[in-house]
Structure 1
Amino acid sequence: MLSRVRVVLVEPQEPMNVGAVARAMRNFGLSRLYLVNPAPRVGPPWAREAYWLAVHAEEVLDRAVAVSTLEDALAGVHLVVATTGRPRELYPAPVVPVWEVPRHVLPVRGEVALVFGRETFGLTNEELDLAHLVGTIPTAPEQPSLNLAQAVVVFAYELFKAASGGEVGKGEALAEVGALEGFFQDLGRYILETGFTDPHRHPYAMRRLRRIFHKARLTPGEVQLLRGLLHQSRYAMEKKDGEP
């Protein structure tokens, strides 16, 4: 299972943080690292400072993949777990503490991405919209923020512990990110066309709808069915409007 998990760092700024992440991954059986739009001083090619901290994990860096966008890093992924410590008014996906993440991840048949935000301010709302699950690490209120590598090591440890204990469960075939995003685009247009919401409230409405559908853990067939329902409903409305 752990071989199907990719760790995604969004716009990392410090090469030593990337090296420390690689070491944390190696400690707990993770090997696939993706970097979204890394700072020039990070690489590629990866800075020597990253290798300084990637003790016995140089191979993770050697095989790391740099991409331009988060969507590129999530290509082919079936479950996206975003990590955050910042309170938000509304998350677009169910929120669970880090120790509950493995029970959502391990049964998935297919690719899983653990997404970590920038060292300075984490993930944007638009990036969180791509998540199917949000994982958090409870911390003391006096010092709530964690270093990037510290956050990675906590999530990696919980996954490793659960996988080593055989906590896999029955396999789930979930829809890929691309198919889900296509459905959400259709749904977003539909709720505007039907007057369910207006452009001002549209982002809020979509985050609430995303949360509902992510709880359902949609399969490829279910996504196809829902998109067909929206298309047929739109066709029926257009046909009715065109009648004399």
Structure 2
Amino acid sequence: MQETNRNIDEMTLIDNWQQVSQQINQACDHAERKADSVILLAVSKTKPAAMVTTLAQQGQRHFGENYLQEAIEKIETLKSQSEGEGIVWHYIGRIQRNKTRDIAEYFDWVQTVERDIIAKRLNDQRPDELPPLNILIQLNIDNEDSKSGCLPAQLPALITAIKGYERLQLRGLMIIPAKAGTDALACTKQLFEEIKANHPELSHWDTLSMGMSGDMAEAIENGSTMVRVGTAIFGQRA
């Protein structure tokens, strides 16, 4: 949050957000899907709370954060503003064991669960007065050594574990696919549908988080229900 000179002005921010929203609508039209079938997650990491407030005033509800301490500061700041009441906060960074208590307390969604030990800690540390924490399993669909995520072969065991946690609500999958081609997108969609068919008890299995600025249209074509967009809205980061 020490990069004020890199922050765009308010009108540019709003214009960027409107353009991305329009691109999502166009991609949905092309895929013959309803525009409201895809959620825009505005990735606000490294950007100040004032920019989140500006977009919240425009109607943006979902915001994604990677860096925990910075996110907590923003969440606390927005709590004191009327715009903060409707914000849904998503944690999309890597999860360290010593960070799970704060993540469980401050966030509405966690998109990067890849191990049972993390899921269990989030469940045990979720405050009782809050609703169950929405969980996405991060899937390493391309089996890339450089990326986090559960391998497809590990999914059944992780799903079974998370189903048993009362303070968690398993909602679906998240991927960061390799850049070449859309096979990963199609494969993830197929896997998502197979899990839905094989686990009717997962009544809230409805979210497929895939697609960013560069592959947003392809992801929507392949069934994404949530796209994660940062730079195209907020401008370049340091």
Q: TM-score, normalised by structure 1?
A: 0.29
Q: TM-score, normalised by structure 2?
A: 0.30
Rg larger in 1 or in 2?
Answer: 1
